[in-house]
Amino acid sequence: MTKLTDTYTLSNDLQIPKIGFGTWQIPANLAQKAVLNALDLGYRHIDTALVYQNEQEVGAGIQESNIKREEIFITSKLPAETKSYDQTLQDFETTMANLQLDYLDLYLIHAPWPWAQKGANYDQQNREVWQAMEEIYASRRVKAIGVSNFNVYDLQNILDVAQIKPMVNQIRYFIGNTENEITEFSQAYGMLVEAYSPLATDELLNNQQLQQLAKKYGVSLAQLAIQFCVQNGVLPLPKAIQRAHAANNAQLDFVIETTDMEQLNNFQKTI
Ligand SMILES: NC(=O)c1ccc[n+]([C@@H]2O[C@H](COP(=O)([O-])OP(=O)(O)OC[C@H]3O[C@@H](n4cnc5c(N)ncnc54)[C@H](OP(=O)(O)O)[C@@H]3O)[C@@H](O)[C@H]2O)c1
């Protein structure tokens, strides 16, 4: 049983709605409408990023909704390619201008390495970037800061020097891909784990075994996958261009039984 207005509490006491609306791969010309739909359906948490190239339209959707700013939780991300102090401050300004906001709720380092160099060592640069993130946080223009795609090693690198610990780690997380080591470490250090691609960017949705289980609860596989995240204490960020999908994902008035959660937590990775 999860409502869109239910919240988790971050380590700095900030409330964050338990379900976020993802906007990756929503083309700019569809993003304003998609965000407006989501807000109309009751979502109060929107996840975007400078690299998604739709921040302006996401911002426009938020404006058009006429919902009070303080009632919406908005996250954006520093490009993974940005690995210097100065560029971090600059990119943050670009994001704020795109979204047309006075403050952001959550700002994340998108990844520990530029996408083209996945796994490369950027330890020193990530520490420098984290200093800039702390400065932005101190300016009060963002209410919380965190990271994304960081493994235990990457997190430790930041924790070794952080004055302010990351409050969130956003990782790829879905049934069969629960990243237990990263999740447990993040949570042990007070970070909320956010599940990106909770439907495995839709690849999970054809799994027959999971479809059977969803049927037992009278829900869609998408609903099952989203509720699974919440029952594990993780914050799902489902994305949907289609309003019917966004509406379906918001209906979470069921509870997955403990034995089924155990089965799902031991589910063999298929993707
Ligand atoms: N930090 C990172 O590096 C990172 C990386 C990837 C994603 N993310 C975040 O996580 C969000 C979600 O991840 P994702 O975009 O990979 O996708 P996802 O939420 O796992 O899956 C989205 C796909 O599932 C479909 N869908 C949604 N609800 C459905 C339903 N009820 N029934 C059937 N199909 C449904 C969508 O279709 P339609 O769109 O056609 O409705 C879309 O094709 C992103 O948008 C982004 O905000 C972050």
Task: For residue 194, give both structure tokens.
Answer: 């956010």
Residues 6+ apart with CB under 8 A from 124: none
Residues 6+ apart with CB under 8 A from 136: 88, 89, 92, 107, 142, 145
Kindly tell me if the per-residue pLDDT of 270 is higher than 80: no
Share of the chain above pLDDT 90, in %: 98
Q: Is 245 annotated as a binding residue?
A: no
CA distance 52 to 34: 14
pLDDT in tens, 232-248: 999 999 999 999 999 99
Kindly tell me if the per-residue pLDDT of 260 is higher than 70: yes
Helices 28-41 and 55-65: crossing angle in degrees, nearest 10, is 30
Mutate to test the pocket of ligand 1, among 26, 81, 196, 251 (most ligand atoms within 8 A of CB): 196
Task: Judge whether 79 and 51 are in contact, CB under 8 Å.
Answer: yes
Known catalytic residue: 107? no
Task: Judge whether 18 and 8 are in contact, CB under 8 Å.
Answer: yes
Whose Cα sits closest to atom 36 in ligand 1? 240
Q: For residues 57-66, give the mean pLDDT.
A: 98
CATH number, span 7-265: 3.20.20.100
- pLDDT band at residue 268, thresholds of 50, 70 and 90? confident
Task: Judge whether 17 and 44 are in contact, CB under 8 Å.
Answer: yes
User: 23: CA distance to ligand 1 center in Å?
Assistant: 8
User: 72: CA distance to ligand 1 center in Å?
Assistant: 20
- pLDDT band at residue 1, thresholds of 50, 70 and 90? confident
23 lines ligand 1 (CB under 6 A): yes
Share of the chain above pLDDT 70, in %: 99
User: 43: CA distance to ligand 1 center in Å?
Assistant: 15
Q: What is the chain's mean pLDDT, rounded?
A: 97
- pLDDT band at residue 271, thresholds of 50, 70 and 90? low
Write the DSSP string, the chain: -B-TT-EEE-TTS-EEESS-EE-TT--HHHHHHHHHHHHHHT--EEE--GGGT-HHHHHHHHHHHT--GGG-EEEEEE-TT--SHHHHHHHHHHHHHHHT-S-EEEEEE--SS-GGGTT---HHHHHHHHHHHHHHHHTTSEEEEEEES--HHHHHHHHTT-SS--SEEEEE-BTTB--HHHHHHHHHTTPEEEEESTTGGGGGGG-HHHHHHHHHHTS-HHHHHHHHHHHTT-EE--B-SSHHHHHHHT-B-----HHHHHHHHTPPP--
Per domain, the residue ranges of the chain are 7-265
Query: Which atom from ligand 1 is nearest to the alpha carbon of 48?
Result: 47
pLDDT in tens, 190-203: 999 999 999 999 99
Whose Cα sits closest to atom 30 in ligand 1? 245
Q: For residues 21-28, give the mean pLDDT.
A: 97
Task: Judge whether 241 and 262 are in contact, CB under 8 Å.
Answer: no
Kindly tell me if the per-residue pLDDT of 94 is higher than 90: yes
